């Protein structure tokens, strides 16, 4: 028996060692090949083309290492800050002759697209060229491509230009079938975040605010495209209204694209711009390799910190793509106490969430602004709890297409006692020392008195929200109340109502922070929170992510991804929330 276990141990040990050695050899080979690729692709020569392939989701805070490998990531993520940094570096680099934009399906809000487009526009104004290529152009991809010197569309591709829409999913029918009764408490005529749980469609107030929001973003899009392509705005709107442009030939005839062509035609076009012989080879460098290998350090000690706050606001740490008061305050306090950090820009991309966590972070920002300037830079969304944070800053900037406002709160609790009793046959019993000791028991409904108490608590929370915004914005509470009630505004409309100080992007916010801190142009920009770089994770993602994300990035699955994500968020919406109405997708 002893000899038997000894043999088992030796076999097991040999198997483990063999596995470790095999993995080690495989990683060594991959690392060697990757190193050779990096060395080749990072060498710069005159007339080099910066290649920017955009296919996936634009994000401003990359995921924590390995979480995407473990299945906790969304579709393929593109680091927006890295793309912008590469474009800005290339603008001043004489070896970079132009940019080749390879456009696929992009998941992004309009503000992040505007950030990227502004960087491309500055690059073009420096006298360098941009060539864009796509197999399909949607409103969002064409928004980026529209400023290119040459816009190439695949001859068998498609051009989708049919206006914008905002669609919302409603779950009341599902809850009716399951005998789940949402217990809803809210303040504000426009606070429609709870409507998907209590209605079969939008209320009139919700339709009103959504239409105004959509029109504002659409008008800005049309104006931008009209200037870029020298086409009258009314003509662009007519194309969308009558669907006269849905294919390559129509897009060419309408002068929305320069020409139709395949990848070899794009190569020939680039060679012509570079004055290269037909048989010459174009020198490309990908944006990620370029910004990693050729970034120049800034020796100055004076810094402006950009603290990225992305995701829903939650009370406890539950993973990436969320904002918790604990981690946010830890980072903000560290920046406040750092003598080299002269000003802070909080980059907000959040639909809101926990009212308690929002208020806690609001207070920390107010403390910080007493020591050094704090500027809010709104991304795609800075609404409800997201606006709660922005209101505490000295100065607020937003893009015209930012979704903001939604000053209001709600409470949500799901009564599942009928589901348990009638569908599942589960019954409960209880002993208690007070009538409401089991108020939130899943086996009974709330009493009228309990509902009144919760509603009063919600109303007090709303008054606190108004007070916080009025204090931060240095406005009268009555002024805030008139434009609150949970109403959502575009960045342009928010500026008209003094919820925002200026329209602009992240670079504008950084410049404003430098101005408030009395800094010259030699300051360094430092991004937070800090995530430790993991070379193994990056390596695995680079080699294997194409297959992993192929399904999520397809046309067929993208709408359902949004639906599944919104259902997943239901678990975090119980309790008192300062949340944007619905999951707003403007396509």
CA distance 161 to 203: 28
Classify residue 305 by burial, with Cβ atoms within 10 Å: 0-12, 13-18, 19+.
buried
CA distance 523 to 519: 7
Query: 384 CB contacts (<8 Å, ≥6 apart)?
Result: 193, 351, 352, 406, 407, 408, 409, 486, 577, 578, 579, 580
Q: Mark residue 362 as left, alpha or beta (left: phi above 0; alpha: psi -120 to 50; beta: remaining).
A: alpha
3-state SS, one letter per residue, for 478-514: HHHHHHCCCCEEEHHHHHHCCCCCEECCHHHHHHHHH
Is residue 535 helix, strand or coil?
helix
Is residue 380 helix, strand or coil?
strand
Is 191 part of the annotated catalytic residue set? yes
Catalytic pick among 84, 85, 191, 303 = 191
Residue of 587, 570, 585, 558 lying closest to 76 (CA atoms): 558
CA distance 330 to 551: 38
What angle, 0 to 180 degrees and rounded to 10, lies between the N-to-C axes of helices 448-473 and 355-369? 20
Q: What is the DSSP letter of 423?
A: I
User: Which tokens in the block code for residue 26?
Assistant: 């495989």
Catalytic pick among 108, 358, 384, 490 = 384
User: Which tokens in the block code for residue 362?
Assistant: 């609001």
What is the torsional sign of CA 253, 255, 259, 262?
Answer: negative
Is 6 part of the annotated catalytic residue set? no
CA distance 370 to 335: 13
Residue 527 CB: number of other CB atoms within 10 A?
Answer: 16
Written as one string, the DSSP assignment of 147-206 is: TSSEEEEEEEEEE------B-----HHHHHHHT-EEEEEE-STT--TTHHHH-SS--HHH
Distances (CA, A) of 300 to 292, 297, 372, 524: 20, 9, 19, 7
Is residue 364 helix, strand or coil?
helix
User: Which tokens in the block code for residue 40?
Assistant: 């080749």
Q: Is the peptide bond before 39 cis (omega within 30 degrees of 0)?
A: no
CA distance 552 to 56: 9
Residue 37 CB: number of other CB atoms within 10 A?
Answer: 12
User: Which tokens in the block code for residue 86?
Assistant: 């590469």
Looking at the annotation, which residues are catalytic? 191, 384
């Amino acid at each position: 028996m002893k000899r038997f276990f000894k043999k088992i141990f030796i076999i097991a040990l040999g198997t483990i060692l063999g596995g470790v050695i095999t993995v080690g050899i495989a990683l060594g080979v991959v690392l060697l090949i990757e190193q050779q690729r990096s060395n080749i692709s990072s060498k710069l020569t005159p007339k080099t083309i910066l290649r920017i392939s955009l296919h996936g989701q634009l994000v401003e805070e990359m995921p924590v290492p390995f979480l995407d490998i473990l299945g906790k990531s969304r579709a393929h993520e593109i680091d927006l800050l890295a793309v912008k940094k590469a474009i800005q570096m290339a603008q001043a680099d004489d070896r970079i002759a132009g940019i080749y934009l390879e456009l696929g399906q992009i998941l992004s809000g309009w503000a992040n697209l505007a950030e990227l487009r502004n960087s491309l526009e500055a690059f073009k104004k420096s006298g360098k060229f941009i060539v864009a290529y796509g197999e399909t152009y949607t409103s969002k991809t064409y928004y980026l491509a529209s400023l290119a010197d040459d816009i190439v569309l695949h001859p068998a591709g498609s051009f989708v230009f049919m206006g914008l829409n905002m669609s919302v999913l409603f779950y009341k029918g599902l809850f009716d079938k399951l005998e789940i009764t949402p217990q809803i408490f809210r303040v504000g005529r426009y606070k429609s975040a709870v409507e998907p749980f209590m209605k079969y469609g939008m209320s009139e107030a919700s339709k009103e605010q959504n239409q105004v929001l959509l029109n504002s973003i659409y008008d800005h899009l049309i104006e931008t495209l009209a200037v870029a392509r020298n086409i009258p705005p009314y003509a662009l709107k007519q194309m969308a209204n009558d669907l006269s442009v849905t294919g390559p030939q129509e897009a060419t005839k309408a002068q929305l694209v320069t020409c139709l062509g395949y990848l070899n035609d794009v190569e020939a076009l680039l060679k012509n711009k570079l004055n290269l012989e037909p048989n010459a080879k174009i020198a490309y460098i990908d944006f990620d390799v370029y910004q990693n290998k050729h970034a120049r350090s800034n020796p100055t000690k004076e810094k402006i910190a950009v603290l990225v706050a992305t995701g829903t606001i939650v009370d406890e740490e539950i993973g990436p793509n969320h904002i918790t008061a604990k981690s946010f305050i830890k980072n903000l306090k560290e920046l406040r106490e750092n003598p080299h950090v002269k000003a802070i820009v909080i980059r907000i991309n959040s639909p809101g969430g926990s009212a308690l966590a929002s208020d806690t972070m609001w207070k920390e920002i107010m403390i910080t602004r007493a020591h050094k300037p704090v500027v809010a830079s709104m991304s795609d969304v800075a609404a409800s709890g997201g606006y709660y944070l922005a209101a505490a800053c000295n100065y607020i900037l937003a893009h015209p297409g930012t979704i903001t406002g939604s000053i209001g709160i709600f409470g949500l609790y799901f009564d599942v006692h009928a589901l348990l009793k009638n569908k599942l046959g589960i019954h409960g019993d209880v002993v208690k020392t007070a009538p409401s000791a089991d108020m939130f028991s899943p086996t009974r409904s709330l009493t009228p008195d309990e509902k009144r108490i919760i509603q009063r608590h919600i109303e007090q929370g709303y008054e606190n929200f108004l007070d916080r915004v009025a204090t931060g914005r240095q406005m009268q509470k009555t002024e805030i109340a008139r434009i609150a009630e949970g109403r959502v505004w575009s960045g342009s409309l928010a500026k008209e109502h003094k919820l925002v100080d200026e329209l602009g992007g992240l670079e504008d916010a950084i410049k404003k922070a430098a101005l408030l801190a009395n800094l010259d142009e030699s300051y360094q920009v430092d991004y937070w929170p800090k995530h430790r770089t993991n070379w193994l994770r990056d390596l695995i993602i680079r080699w294997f992510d194409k297959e992993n994300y192929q399904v999520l990035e397809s046309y067929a699955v993208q709408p359902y991804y949004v639906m599944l994500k919104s259902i997943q968020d239901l678990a975090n919406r119980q309790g008192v929330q300062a949340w944007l109405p619905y999951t707003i997708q403007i396509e």
